[in-house]
Structure 1
Amino acid sequence: MWPYLDKAICAQIRSATEPMFAEYVGKYQIEAIEFDNLSLGTIPPEIHGLKVCETNEKELVLEPAVRWAGNPNIVLTLKLLSFRITIQLVDLQIFMAPRITLKPLVPTFPCFATVAVSLLWKPDVDFGMSILGGDIMAIPGLYQFVQKTIKRQLASLYIWPQALEIPILDSATVAVKKPVGILHVKVVRAQKLLKKDILGTSDPYVKLNLSGERLPSKKTTIKKRNLNPEWNEKFKLIVKDPGSQVLQLQVFDWDKVGNHDRLGMQFVPLKFLTPYETKEFKLDLLKHTDSYDPQDKKQRGKIVVELMYAPFRADSGKLEGTQDGYSRKESGFDRTSDSEVFGGAGLLSVLIQGAEDVEGERHNNPFAVVFFRGETKRTKMIKRARDPLWNEEFHYMLEEPPLNEKIHIEVMSKRTGFSFRSKEHLGNVDINLTDVVHNGRINQKYHLIDSKNGVIHVAIKWVTA
């Protein structure tokens, strides 16, 4: 593996040093600075100890102690006036403690998408410089000056939390699109709709949703016997990709019996919206999305909507809890008054990552159920597992921050065959959401109540637009 790392590291060195060299070209009569040879040689670094750190994130953190006394071939040429001065790096030795983070962990080989490398402290670097056969590092004071300069440069670039990130997998193949904002929709009115009922009228309502979403469509109220309905109803939709998503609007005629007839439809690409700017659209209703079919001459009426896209604010959430911290009690502690917390609408995201040591008396097919504000959402069932991994996320669009509210999570098991006692309770936990509002995010493992050793891993995030 070392020959491939050699080429990759050397390419990174070239790209990092080129702008540094460019600053000196044209000064002090310097015409050019370039590498004649750049290779780290055939001797790989040695690893003296390895620490593996556990975190609550989807990542693997490695902290090796690395020592390297190699045989590099690094030759730098300095063109000064009409002279070529060759500088060779000799007797290079390095001792450093990098932090290597493999993230995020994904179910696609090699199971991580990016390698992030940073340094825990300034590395120890020892070397000599040979110019015209002589070691200039023997000049008094020069060695210490060069050492300090190199350490300072490396520290400014890669001392943790700064990092060099190396992509491994194409982000398009592993990325799960996360919510990035809220689309505010006001369905204002429709005009001159088609007559679908026997009495020469219609009972219209509007269904609206964003492309690429599996969430149920939003619906307006039904306006009975009205071809020019006024709604003025407002909705909020979760946006994941404003560059490609489209708002789909469909107008239906409600029928008490049978299927509802579609009166017309339209769509609005979100890329036409400017963030935080309300824009009104007056749209001709179409029979279908096959845009402007020349054979479809029938006038289907118009629909008027007002749209505003509000991106979420930059995430400033703090990670709550230690790396291996657990909590049996509800999260929460004394705070200043709630009035100090910024209010307003936002999105509460609940990620049920997994559980450990959940065991039933009769069967072990665990799934998690989330209860919040009268809504019940559940993960998929994992058969015959004591340490299930769900990685399922649920979203709640809220008008106000969930201060002093709790979210209740239960872990259940369900028998796959027929049984009178098919479900079994494996444990539960209540999480206080005040912490989430104040911190922006928590990511923690909680001991399950009514479980001997069971633990559930939950990440909750609150973002506002």
Structure 2
Amino acid sequence: HAKMGMNRVLLKELPPEETQVSTLNLLKTMDPNDVQNEKSRGQITLEVTYKPFKQEEDTEEESMDGTDEVQKAPDNTPAGGGLLFVILHEAQDVEGKHHTNPYAKITFKGEEKKTKVVKKNRDPRWEHEFEFACEEPPTNDKLHVQVLSKAGKIGGILHDKVRYSTRNAWPLTDVVIRLTSILVAP
């Protein structure tokens, strides 16, 4: 799995119930001074929304007027918790020449989620929605995004054949014994 690029979204300015759409440049490293980041590696477009859980007293009122609401908080959830929704729309002009099989991986508070692989494409379109549970608003958190390329089938097939043939090969000692007995015989 080759890393094609990465970036992060700072969630400190994400107001509840408002959607933030971002198009980020993909970077080689997260070091702002790294010269490798000067090369264009493509861009990724994503959408982030934080929806706080409704409190008990709010839930009944709003469900009567039919507004869209986030589910009631699970038991033992601290006040202020909610759901972080992330939609990975697409990437454009990702690094690679011919056989890139890109997919995206997002990490939030150590939890990783992945999109499907789009085969042989430098402009993958995922339109994949992820959901992360939050115990509190994600004001001090970061969302890490990576675009990677999965190896094609050819490498996997060759690897399997080599592993199969070495497992089923005759032991070398058997061959040596046969040659020795042929040379010694009168």
- Normalising by structure 2, we get a TM-score of 0.43
Instruction: Give the structure with higher Rg (CA).
Output: 1
Higher helix share: 2
- Normalising by structure 1, we get a TM-score of 0.18
